[in-house]
Amino acid sequence: MFNDIFSALRGSRVRVPNIGSEEFARLMREEPNAVVLDVRTSGEFATGHIPNAVNIDMMDPDFDRRVDALDRTVPILVYCRSGNRSYHAGNRMLAMGFEHVYNLARGVIGWHEPLTRQAR
| All domains of the chain in start order, with CATH | 2-110 (3.40.250.10)
**Catalytic residue from among 39, 50, 58, 80:** 80
Q: What is the distance between the alpha carbons of residues 78 and 63, in angstroms, rounded to a whole number?
A: 13
User: Taking CA 110 as the corner, what is the angle to CA 43 and CA 35, rounded to the nearest 5 degrees?
Assistant: 65
Coil, strand or helix: which one is 37?
Answer: strand
Whether 80 is a known active-site residue: answer yes
Tens of pLDDT along the chain (120 residues) come to 444 544 444 555 669 999 999 999 999 999 999 999 999 999 999 999 999 999 999 999 999 999 999 999 999 999 999 999 999 999 999 999 999 999 999 999 999 999 998 765
Nearest to residue 14, comparing CAs of 105, 87, 94, 118? 94
